[in-house]
A and B are shown apart, each in its own frame.
Chain A
């Protein structure tokens, strides 16, 4: 995973993979590679969301934010 990856670029890459697979440009040989990458990206995105959530809760220690 590239070091520059952030939520937006990760999500953007994830949707690109979806588009590629939907347009059937992806050959079967690449498919497993792409799925592996997509899983990585999705995990990264979820992790980022969790981190952001924790950061927001730190900013509002009185837990005004309702999750």
Chain B
């Protein structure tokens, strides 16, 4: 028989080698593959991925004993459960231990949360870059948002405070608007978040025509709680969604990948509710304003028409009267002109006749004889020139006051 060790001797030797070489704890960074808590102790599997292929090329079991776990709970508070979950990148301070029967194991004494947060940020940036490269960042924002978002598909956890706040805020809107809401429940943190949110989006997509928008909400939480929305699949599904997606995830300072690709991103679930109410309110007040403008315009037009009608009626009322008055005046004037002219005509004839009569009277022989003329007659014939006069014949001379006879020389 060759010289050999028993397995115990070998393992004991290995334990001593390990103990000698890892006398102090070391800082190790790895990804948590699995985690479970049993009676205050935490059991984990830590892994490492080969960078190009992504295959697991290293793995080790790790424990957090009850005492260290208490210490970490005090130190990290609500951050701890977010860090201690599958998929998390962690930097741990661990003692390397080898046990003859249970093999090698890391006993975790401390955790550096800054590393996990940093890794998450790096992951987030990678996702954002990929979404941008695939042209998805602005895709949902390019969908025209209806004037009123009323029929709402909500993705949230049923009993989450954020969801309850959202519902209450919408119900108590001061205008009394009704917002029909359909909840599509999904995990809002943890490993199921990606699968359940994507499934909810898929379900809504099949009946997208029934909704005006999708609202994705969860209340505040630690940065790591919200980091479940720094997820490529969720981001891409939101970006490609056929109707606008509104997000209200976490607190004022948070902006997850889901927020960045969403059509509209509000800070909190309540802010989403405010946005929806405000939008409906704006629309209604615009309608009121338009109604007022239409009424004003119609009233103005009617008043103008009334005024025109009144003016026209007034003119119509006066026009026939004026025409009749004018007719009467013309007839009267014409007739009086005729009579006046006729009067002139008759007068003129009278005047002419008078003149003529006067002339005739002047020419009467009696008047002529009175002016010293005499009529000379010889044998009853009027002698009107010297040649006719015969000296021998008796001559009768008639004056205005009598006749004389001059005997001839016969």
Contact = CB atoms under 8 A, between A and B. Distances in A.
Interface of A: 7, 11, 14-15, 17-18, 21-22, 24, 26, 28, 31, 34-35, 38-39, 42, 45-46, 49, 52-53, 56, 64-67
A18 B342 CA distance: 9
B331 A42 contact: yes
A22 B318 CA distance: 34
A14 B330 CA distance: 10
Contacts, number: 66
SS of B interface (majority): helix
Given A35-B342, A65-B321, A49 B335 contact: no
A65 B335 contact: no
B341 A21 contact: yes
A45 B317 contact: no
Interface string B304-329: 00000000010001101100100110
Nearest to B318: A66
B346 A28 contact: yes
A66 B321 contact: yes
Identify the interface centre among B324, B327, B330, B341: most chain A CB within 10 Å of its CB: B341
A5 B304 CA distance: 45
B324 A67 contact: yes
A56 B320 contact: yes
A49 B328 contact: yes
A21 to B, nearest CB: 4
Contacts of A11: 327, 330-331, 334
Contacts of B373: none
Contacts of A22: 337, 341
A15 B328 contact: no
A64 B321 contact: no
Given A28-B349, A64-B313, A66-B317, A17 B338 contact: yes
Given A21-B345, A65-B317, 18 more contacts: A11-B330, A11-B334, A14-B335, A14-B338, A21-B342, A22-B337, A22-B341, A35-B339, A38-B338, A42-B335, A49-B324, A52-B320, A53-B324, A56-B320, A64-B313, A64-B317, A65-B320, A67-B324
6 A-B pairs with least C-beta separation: A42-B335, A45-B331, A21-B341, A38-B338, A67-B321, A14-B334
A42 B318 contact: no
A42 B318 CA distance: 24
B332 interface: yes
A26 B313 CA distance: 47
B237 to A, nearest CB: 77
A54 B349 CA distance: 44
Contacts of B341: 18, 21-22
B341 to A, nearest CB: 4
